[in-house]
Structure 1
Amino acid sequence: MFIDTHLHLVARDRISYPWLKDVPVLDRDWTFEDYEQTAKRIGIDGVLHMEVDCAPEDIVTENVFVGELMARPQSLMRGAISSARPESEDCAAFLDTLDLDIVKGIRRVLHVVPDDLSQGDLFRENVRRIGNKGLPFDICVLQRQIPIAQDLVDACPDTVFVLDHCGVPDIAGDGFADWAKSIAALAERPHVNAKISGITAYAKPDWTLDTLRPYVEHIIKCFGWDRVVWGSDSPVCTLNSSLDQWMAVTRALISGASQSEQAAFAHENAKRIWSI
């Protein structure tokens, strides 16, 4: 059974998502009810909600929304990876208000802001604060920004990090060589983990299992089975596959691993990293 460490839900009646207007295919409500129906069919028995880069004034509302889902009887929801603004003077106070029964981690998307944002002293100080609270920090960068992520990781040695989406490899553009080199360097940092999540979105529409295999195998080779987790990246994965297809290809790619290796990847590492 899998823990999905990367689910996005969209509830436009309660929360504003400014970026969605630029992605019409995703610009609709994506409900937990629809997700749960599929998840229970394909072997997902727990899920973390990943912040959806909502309007800053709605971050608290988004976390409350996740808490409500957690409280439902027999809910698969295990917690929220909350948005935050580490570049803000208000971040420390915001972190102090978090309900840690709901919030299990923090993310700030870095590919939608200037490259130097995460290099600022205040940003790094707040990421260290996040680590001091026992919360991991998800890194969401493009392939070309992986060295920037490495600089942030080096500046915050006591914070646990999780690299989203395998570092967003340019699979469609056959960018394997440069990506693989950057991943190998980042993986040398023992406080960094890697999330194998929804990478079908970065391939061409005619992708196959063998298209994705070298990327998944390289991540596992570099990080090892004790530092990798799985995520759906639903609904973004639907740009180039279905949730069912992404789970099927994942199971095929790890079928040769031992039971203990598969269990670490599927759920044990996630439970440890996010304290769930």
Structure 2
Amino acid sequence: MFIDTHLHLVERNRISYPWLKDAPELNRDWTYQEYETTAKRVGIEGTLHMEVDCAPNDIETENAFVAELMARPGSLIRGAISSARPEEKGFTAFLDHLDPKVIKGIRRVLHVVPDDVSQSDHFRENVQQIGKKGLPFDICVSQRQLDLAIDLADACPNTIFVLDHCGVPDIAGGGYDDWAKSIRTLAKRPHVNAKISGISAYTTPDWTLDTLRPYVEHIIETFGWDRVVWGSDSPVCTLNSSLDQWMAATQALIASASETERTAFSRHNAKRIWSL
């Protein structure tokens, strides 16, 4: 049984997602009911909702939406990783206002803003505040920005980090060597974890297990079984697969792991990192 640490739900009649206009394959509602049907079939026992880079003035609405879903009897949702703007004034007040029963972590997508955003003293001081609140910070960067992730981790040694999507490797473009070198460097930071989540989206439609295997194995080798978690990245994973295909691929890729290793990866690490 798995905890899915990276579920996106889209509710367009209530929340605005400006980026969706440029992603026609994803530009529709993605409901909890649709996800739950597949999740219960493939062995997902719980999930964290990952913010969907909604319009800034809809962040509180998105968190309230997740809270409502959590309150449903039998809900799989265990909490929310909230969107945030650590680069802006008033962030401390925003952080203090969050409901700890709902909000389990914070994310600011960094590949959609200038590189210098995460390098400012103000941003880093606020990421340090996130750590003082006991909340992990998800790092969402493109492969070329992995050095920014390393710098941010070094600037905030007391904040727990989780690298999304294996660092978004350019699998389709064949950029393995540069990615692997950066990952090895980042993994030396013991307060950084890695999320193996929906990386089929970064390859070509004709991918196979052997396409993904070097990336998954390198993440596990460098971070170790105690610092890796699983995520679906649904619905983004549907760009080149489906939720059940991504789960099947994951199961095949970790088939040789011990029971202790599988349990750590599939759920125990997530419970520890996000205090579930």
Q: Which stretches of structure 1, 4 residues or more, deviate above 2 A after TM superposition?
A: none
SS in 2 for 1:218: helix
- Aligned equivalents of 2:224, 2:131: Cα separation in 1: 22
Amino acid across the alignment from 1:189: R
1:80 aligns with: 80
1:226, 1:111 → 2: CA distance? 27
| Cα distance, 1:186 vs structure 2 | 0.2
Instruction: Give 3-state SS (helix, strand or coil) of 2:45's partner.
Output: strand
2:253 matched residue in structure 1: 253
Report the AA paired with residue 83 of structure 1.
Answer: S
Name the aligned partner's letter for residue 246 of structure 2.
W
**Displacement, 1:26?**
0.5
CA distance in 1, matches of 2:169, 2:46: 26
Q: Distance in 1 between matches of 2:205 and 2:266?
A: 26
How far does residue 7 in structure 1 lie from its aligned partner after superposition?
0.3
Report the CA distance between 1:225 and its aligned residue: 0.1
Which residues in structure 2 correspond to 1:107-256 (within 5 Å)? 107-256=107-256
Question: What TM-score do you get using the length of structure 1 for normalisation?
Answer: 1.00
TM-score of the aligned structures, taking structure 2 as reference length: 1.00
Q: Separation in 2 of the partners of 1:151 and 1:54?
A: 26
| CA displacement 1:130-152 (0-9 Å, x = unmatched) | 00000000000000100011000
Paired with 1:235 and 1:14, the residues of 2 have a C-alpha distance of 18
1:103 aligns with 2:78: no
Residue 275 (1) aligns with residue 236 (2): no
Deviation at 1:250, TM superposition (A): 0.1
In 2, Cα distance between equivalents of 1:162 and 1:19: 23
CA distance in 1, matches of 2:27, 2:189: 37
Partner AA of 1:222 in structure 2: T
Structure 1: which amino acid aligns with 2:189?
Answer: R
Structure 2 letter corresponding to 1:180 = A
CA RMSD of aligned residues (A): 0.3
Q: Which residue of 1 aligns with 2:16?
A: 16
Q: Which amino acid aligns with 1:80?
A: A
SS of aligned partner of 2:78:
strand
Aligned match of 2:91? 91
**Structure 2 CA distance, aligned partners of 1:245 and 1:211?**
14
Mapped to 2, the partners of 1:15 and 1:204 lie a distance apart of: 31
Whole-Å separation in 2 of the counterparts to 1:90 and 1:42: 42
Does the residue aligned with 2:25 lie in a helix, a strand or coil?
Answer: helix
Unaligned runs of at least 5 residues, structure 2: none
> Superposition pairs for residues 55-70 of structure 1, below 5 Å?
55-70=55-70
> How far off is 1:38 after superposition?
0.3
Q: Distance in 1 between matches of 2:74 and 2:189?
A: 37
Deviation for aligned residue 1:83: 0.3
Residue 159 of structure 1 and its aligned partner are, at CA, apart by 0.1
- Identical pairs, percent: 76
Equivalent residue letter for 1:101 = K
Residue deviations 1:15-47, cap 9 Å, x none?
000000000110110000000000000000000
Instruction: Give 1:90 deviation, angstroms.
Output: 1.1
2-structure distance, mates of 1:167, 1:34:
27
